[in-house]
Protein backbone atom coordinates (compact mmCIF):
# COMPACT_ATOMS: atom_id res chain seq x y z
CA UNK A 1 0.00 0.00 0.00
CA UNK A 2 1.29 3.45 -0.94
CA UNK A 3 2.42 5.27 2.22
CA UNK A 4 0.94 8.74 2.73
CA UNK A 5 3.72 10.97 4.02
CA UNK A 6 2.77 14.36 5.45
CA UNK A 7 5.07 16.89 3.76
CA UNK A 8 6.62 19.24 6.37
CA UNK A 9 3.80 17.95 8.59
CA UNK A 10 0.26 18.67 7.46
CA UNK A 11 1.57 21.66 5.52
CA UNK A 12 -1.68 22.41 3.70
CA UNK A 13 -3.65 22.95 6.90
CA UNK A 14 -1.06 24.03 9.49
CA UNK A 15 2.12 26.14 9.39
CA UNK A 16 4.81 23.92 7.87
CA UNK A 17 7.52 22.27 9.97
CA UNK A 18 5.91 23.24 13.30
CA UNK A 19 4.86 20.98 16.17
CA UNK A 20 1.23 21.84 15.32
CA UNK A 21 1.70 20.58 11.75
CA UNK A 22 3.31 17.34 12.97
CA UNK A 23 0.66 16.78 15.63
CA UNK A 24 -2.04 17.22 13.00
CA UNK A 25 -0.26 14.76 10.70
CA UNK A 26 -0.35 12.16 13.49
CA UNK A 27 -3.96 13.00 14.40
CA UNK A 28 -5.26 12.33 10.87
CA UNK A 29 -3.40 9.01 10.71
CA UNK A 30 -0.56 9.75 8.26
CA UNK A 31 1.63 6.73 7.49
CA UNK A 32 4.66 8.96 7.39
CA UNK A 33 5.92 12.43 8.19
CA UNK A 34 8.60 14.38 6.33
CA UNK A 35 10.60 17.27 7.76
CA UNK A 36 13.64 19.35 6.80
CA UNK A 37 16.69 19.70 9.05
CA UNK A 38 19.36 22.40 9.16
CA UNK A 39 22.00 23.49 11.66
CA UNK A 40 21.90 26.64 13.82
CA UNK A 41 24.99 28.73 14.51
CA UNK A 42 25.47 26.85 17.80
CA UNK A 43 25.04 23.40 16.18
CA UNK A 44 21.44 22.62 17.11
CA UNK A 45 19.29 20.66 14.65
CA UNK A 46 16.62 23.05 13.42
CA UNK A 47 13.48 21.92 11.58
CA UNK A 48 12.92 24.50 8.85
CA UNK A 49 12.70 24.37 5.05
CA UNK A 50 14.34 27.54 3.75
CA UNK A 51 17.94 28.50 4.48
CA UNK A 52 16.62 31.81 5.83
CA UNK A 53 13.85 32.28 8.37
CA UNK A 54 12.27 35.16 6.43
CA UNK A 55 9.37 33.35 4.71
CA UNK A 56 8.12 31.20 7.58
CA UNK A 57 8.78 33.33 10.66
CA UNK A 58 8.48 36.97 11.71
CA UNK A 59 12.29 37.20 11.86
CA UNK A 60 15.07 37.72 9.35
CA UNK A 61 18.39 36.05 8.66
CA UNK A 62 20.08 32.77 7.84
CA UNK A 63 19.36 29.72 10.01
CA UNK A 64 23.11 29.11 10.21
CA UNK A 65 23.87 32.60 11.48
CA UNK A 66 21.41 32.44 14.40
CA UNK A 67 21.68 30.58 17.70
CA UNK A 68 18.91 28.34 19.00
CA UNK A 69 17.86 30.90 21.60
CA UNK A 70 17.73 33.60 18.92
CA UNK A 71 15.64 31.36 16.65
CA UNK A 72 13.29 30.57 19.54
CA UNK A 73 12.34 34.24 19.85
CA UNK A 74 10.56 34.19 16.50
CA UNK A 75 7.05 33.07 15.65
CA UNK A 76 6.89 30.37 12.96
CA UNK A 77 3.09 30.07 12.79
CA UNK A 78 1.30 33.40 12.53
CA UNK A 79 2.42 33.99 8.92
CA UNK A 80 0.19 31.09 7.75
CA UNK A 81 -2.94 33.00 6.77
CA UNK A 82 -5.14 29.94 6.31
CA UNK A 83 -4.73 28.91 9.93
CA UNK A 84 -2.51 31.32 11.88
CA UNK A 85 -1.19 30.26 15.27
CA UNK A 86 1.78 31.11 17.45
CA UNK A 87 4.44 28.42 17.02
CA UNK A 88 8.14 28.15 17.80
CA UNK A 89 10.75 26.98 15.31
CA UNK A 90 11.20 23.39 16.54
CA UNK A 91 14.38 21.40 16.96
CA UNK A 92 14.56 17.85 15.60
CA UNK A 93 14.70 16.63 19.19
CA UNK A 94 11.45 18.42 20.03
CA UNK A 95 9.74 16.88 17.02
CA UNK A 96 10.87 13.32 17.73
CA UNK A 97 9.89 13.71 21.40
CA UNK A 98 6.44 14.89 20.28
CA UNK A 99 6.07 11.93 17.91
CA UNK A 100 7.07 9.57 20.69
CA UNK A 101 4.60 11.20 23.11
CA UNK A 102 1.85 10.94 20.47
CA UNK A 103 2.82 7.29 20.01
CA UNK A 104 3.37 7.80 16.28
CA UNK A 105 3.96 4.39 14.73
CA UNK A 106 4.67 5.41 11.15
CA UNK A 107 7.77 6.44 9.22
CA UNK A 108 9.69 9.67 9.81
CA UNK A 109 11.53 10.90 6.71
CA UNK A 110 14.39 13.15 7.86
CA UNK A 111 15.41 15.33 4.92
CA UNK A 112 18.87 16.77 5.47
CA UNK A 113 18.80 20.24 3.90
CA UNK A 114 22.39 20.48 2.77
CA UNK A 115 22.01 21.09 -0.96
CA UNK A 116 22.57 24.87 -0.69
CA UNK A 117 24.58 25.10 2.54
CA UNK A 118 26.77 22.13 3.46
CA UNK A 119 26.39 22.34 7.25
CA UNK A 120 29.59 20.81 8.63
CA UNK A 121 28.95 17.66 10.69
CA UNK A 122 25.14 17.76 10.51
CA UNK A 123 24.84 14.11 9.46
CA UNK A 124 26.71 12.87 12.52
CA UNK A 125 24.68 15.05 14.90
CA UNK A 126 21.40 13.75 13.44
CA UNK A 127 22.46 10.09 13.62
CA UNK A 128 23.67 10.58 17.23
CA UNK A 129 20.27 12.01 18.24
CA UNK A 130 18.29 9.31 16.46
CA UNK A 131 20.42 6.56 18.02
CA UNK A 132 20.19 8.09 21.49
CA UNK A 133 16.99 6.30 22.35
CA UNK A 134 14.32 3.90 21.15
CA UNK A 135 11.53 5.64 19.27
CA UNK A 136 7.93 4.57 18.76
CA UNK A 137 8.38 5.00 14.99
CA UNK A 138 10.66 3.93 12.15
CA UNK A 139 12.76 6.54 10.38
CA UNK A 140 14.76 7.08 7.22
CA UNK A 141 17.16 9.66 5.79
CA UNK A 142 16.95 11.63 2.56
CA UNK A 143 18.67 14.58 0.90
CA UNK A 144 19.09 16.41 -2.40
CA UNK A 145 22.80 16.47 -1.57
CA UNK A 146 24.35 13.09 -2.38
CA UNK A 147 27.42 13.63 -0.20
CA UNK A 148 25.15 13.85 2.86
CA UNK A 149 23.66 10.47 1.95
CA UNK A 150 27.15 8.96 1.62
CA UNK A 151 28.09 10.39 5.02
CA UNK A 152 24.96 8.88 6.57
CA UNK A 153 25.74 5.50 5.00
CA UNK A 154 29.25 5.65 6.49
CA UNK A 155 27.84 5.76 10.01
CA UNK A 156 24.34 4.27 9.77
CA UNK A 157 23.50 1.00 8.00
CA UNK A 158 20.20 0.22 9.72
CA UNK A 159 17.87 2.82 8.23
CA UNK A 160 16.82 3.48 4.66
CA UNK A 161 18.47 6.24 2.67
CA UNK A 162 16.75 7.95 -0.27
CA UNK A 163 17.92 10.38 -2.92
CA UNK A 164 15.75 13.48 -3.43
CA UNK A 165 15.75 15.18 -6.82
CA UNK A 166 13.64 17.14 -9.26
CA UNK A 167 13.81 15.86 -12.82
CA UNK A 168 17.55 15.28 -13.10
CA UNK A 169 18.53 12.20 -15.13
CA UNK A 170 21.99 12.44 -13.65
CA UNK A 171 20.64 12.19 -10.09
CA UNK A 172 18.43 9.29 -11.13
CA UNK A 173 21.41 7.46 -12.62
CA UNK A 174 23.54 8.19 -9.57
CA UNK A 175 20.83 6.78 -7.29
CA UNK A 176 20.46 3.67 -9.45
CA UNK A 177 24.20 3.02 -9.40
CA UNK A 178 24.46 3.33 -5.63
CA UNK A 179 23.57 0.11 -3.86
CA UNK A 180 23.06 1.80 -0.50
CA UNK A 181 20.25 3.98 -1.90
CA UNK A 182 16.95 2.32 -1.02
CA UNK A 183 14.64 4.75 -2.78
CA UNK A 184 14.18 7.90 -4.79
CA UNK A 185 12.08 10.94 -3.89
CA UNK A 186 11.61 12.73 -7.23
CA UNK A 187 9.32 15.57 -8.19
CA UNK A 188 5.88 14.22 -9.19
CA UNK A 189 6.56 15.34 -12.79
CA UNK A 190 9.34 12.73 -12.95
CA UNK A 191 6.72 10.07 -12.19
CA UNK A 192 4.42 11.42 -14.91
CA UNK A 193 7.32 11.26 -17.39
CA UNK A 194 8.30 7.70 -16.44
CA UNK A 195 4.97 5.87 -16.26
CA UNK A 196 6.25 3.02 -18.46
CA UNK A 197 9.28 2.41 -16.22
CA UNK A 198 7.59 2.50 -12.82
CA UNK A 199 6.65 -1.18 -12.56
CA UNK A 200 10.23 -2.36 -13.11
CA UNK A 201 12.02 0.43 -11.31
CA UNK A 202 14.47 -1.23 -8.90
CA UNK A 203 14.13 1.29 -6.04
CA UNK A 204 11.25 2.53 -3.90
CA UNK A 205 9.60 5.65 -5.37
CA UNK A 206 8.08 8.34 -3.11
CA UNK A 207 7.42 11.52 -5.12
CA UNK A 208 6.71 15.06 -3.90
CA UNK A 209 4.50 17.01 -3.73
CA UNK A 210 1.31 15.14 -4.58
CA UNK A 211 -1.64 17.37 -3.73
CA UNK A 212 -4.13 16.85 -6.57
CA UNK A 213 -6.65 14.02 -6.41
CA UNK A 214 -5.85 12.71 -9.90
CA UNK A 215 -2.12 12.53 -9.17
CA UNK A 216 -2.77 10.81 -5.85
CA UNK A 217 -4.94 8.22 -7.62
CA UNK A 218 -2.27 7.68 -10.25
CA UNK A 219 0.41 7.03 -7.61
CA UNK A 220 -1.89 4.63 -5.77
CA UNK A 221 -2.73 2.77 -8.99
CA UNK A 222 0.97 2.28 -9.73
CA UNK A 223 1.49 1.06 -6.15
CA UNK A 224 4.31 3.51 -5.53
CA UNK A 225 6.03 3.07 -2.18
CA UNK A 226 4.83 6.46 -0.95
CA UNK A 227 3.76 10.00 -1.73
CA UNK A 228 4.67 13.23 0.00
CA UNK A 229 1.59 15.41 0.30
CA UNK A 230 0.60 18.67 1.99
CA UNK A 231 -2.87 17.18 2.52
CA UNK A 232 -2.49 13.82 4.29
CA UNK A 233 -6.13 13.72 5.46
CA UNK A 234 -7.39 14.17 1.89
CA UNK A 235 -4.95 11.55 0.56
CA UNK A 236 -6.02 9.05 3.22
CA UNK A 237 -9.67 9.58 2.31
CA UNK A 238 -8.98 9.05 -1.42
CA UNK A 239 -6.90 5.94 -0.77
CA UNK A 240 -9.69 4.52 1.39
CA UNK A 241 -12.32 5.16 -1.31
CA UNK A 242 -10.18 3.37 -3.89
CA UNK A 243 -9.69 0.38 -1.66
CA UNK A 244 -13.40 -0.03 -0.85
O1 LIG B 1 11.60 15.28 0.81
C2 LIG B 1 10.68 15.56 -0.20
C3 LIG B 1 10.47 17.03 -0.39
O4 LIG B 1 10.30 17.64 0.86
C5 LIG B 1 11.62 17.68 -1.11
O6 LIG B 1 11.40 19.01 -1.41
O7 LIG B 1 11.83 21.39 -1.12
O8 LIG B 1 9.86 20.38 -0.03
O9 LIG B 1 12.10 19.88 0.84
P10 LIG B 1 11.30 20.21 -0.37
MG1 LIG C 1 11.65 18.44 2.35
Which of 16, 35, 49, 115 for a ligand 1 pocket mutation test, highest count of atoms within 8 Å of Cβ? 49
Residue spans of the domains in the chain: they are: 3-243
Whole-number Å distance, alpha carbon 49 to ligand 2 midpoint, is 7
The CB of 228 under 6 Å from ligand 1? The reply is yes
Nearest-ligand number for the alpha carbon of 210: 1
The CB of 34 under 6 Å from ligand 1? The reply is yes
The CB of 111 under 6 Å from ligand 1? The reply is yes
DSSP at 224: -
7 has catalytic annotation: yes
152-182 tens-digit pLDDT: 999 999 999 999 999 999 999 999 999 999 9
Please give the share of the chain, as a percent, with pLDDT higher than 90: 99
pLDDT at residue 101, rounded to an integer: 98
Three-state SS at 3: strand
Mean pLDDT, the chain, as a whole number? 97
Which of 209, 224, 226, 230 for a ligand 1 pocket mutation test, highest count of atoms within 8 Å of Cβ? 209
The CB of 36 under 6 Å from ligand 1? The reply is yes
Which stretch of DSSP H or E encloses residue 68? helix 68-71
pLDDT at residue 158, rounded to an integer: 97
- Is the pLDDT at 92 greater than 80? The verdict is yes
34-65 tens-digit pLDDT: 999 999 999 999 999 999 999 999 999 999 99
CA-based end-to-end distance of the chain: 13
pLDDT band at 244 (very low <50, low <70, confident <90, very high): low
- Is the pLDDT at 229 greater than 70? The verdict is yes
Instruction: Judge whether 129 and 96 are in contact, CB under 8 Å.
Output: yes
Q: What is the mean pLDDT of residues 174-193?
A: 97
**Calpha distance 183→205 (Å, rounded):** 6
Q: What is the mean pLDDT of residues 90-118?
A: 98
Whole-number Å distance, alpha carbon 238 to ligand 2 midpoint, is 23
- Is the pLDDT at 243 greater than 90? The verdict is no
- Is the pLDDT at 223 greater than 90? The verdict is yes
CB atoms within 10 A of CB 170: 8
Which of 4, 164, 183 for a ligand 1 pocket mutation test, highest count of atoms within 8 Å of Cβ? 164
- CATH for 3-243, options being 2.40.40.20, 3.20.20.100, 1.20.58.100, 3.20.20.190: 3.20.20.190
3-state percent breakdown (helix, strand, coil) of the chain, nearest 5: 35, 20, 45
Please give the ipTM for the structure prediction. 0.99
pLDDT band at 197 (very low <50, low <70, confident <90, very high): very high
223 has catalytic annotation: no
Whole-number Å distance, alpha carbon 50 to ligand 2 midpoint, is 10
DSSP notation for 80-107? -TTS----PPPBHHHHHHHHHHTT--SE
- Is the pLDDT at 95 greater than 70? The verdict is yes
**Calpha distance 147→20 (Å, rounded):** 32
**Calpha distance 221→198 (Å, rounded):** 11
Amino acid sequence: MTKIIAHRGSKGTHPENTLAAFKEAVRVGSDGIELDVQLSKDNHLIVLHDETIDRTTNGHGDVGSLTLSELKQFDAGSWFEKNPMVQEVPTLEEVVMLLKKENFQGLLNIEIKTDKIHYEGIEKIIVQLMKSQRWSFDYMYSSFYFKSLEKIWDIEKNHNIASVFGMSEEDEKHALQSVFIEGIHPKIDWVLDHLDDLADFPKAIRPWTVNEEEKMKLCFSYHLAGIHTDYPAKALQIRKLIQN
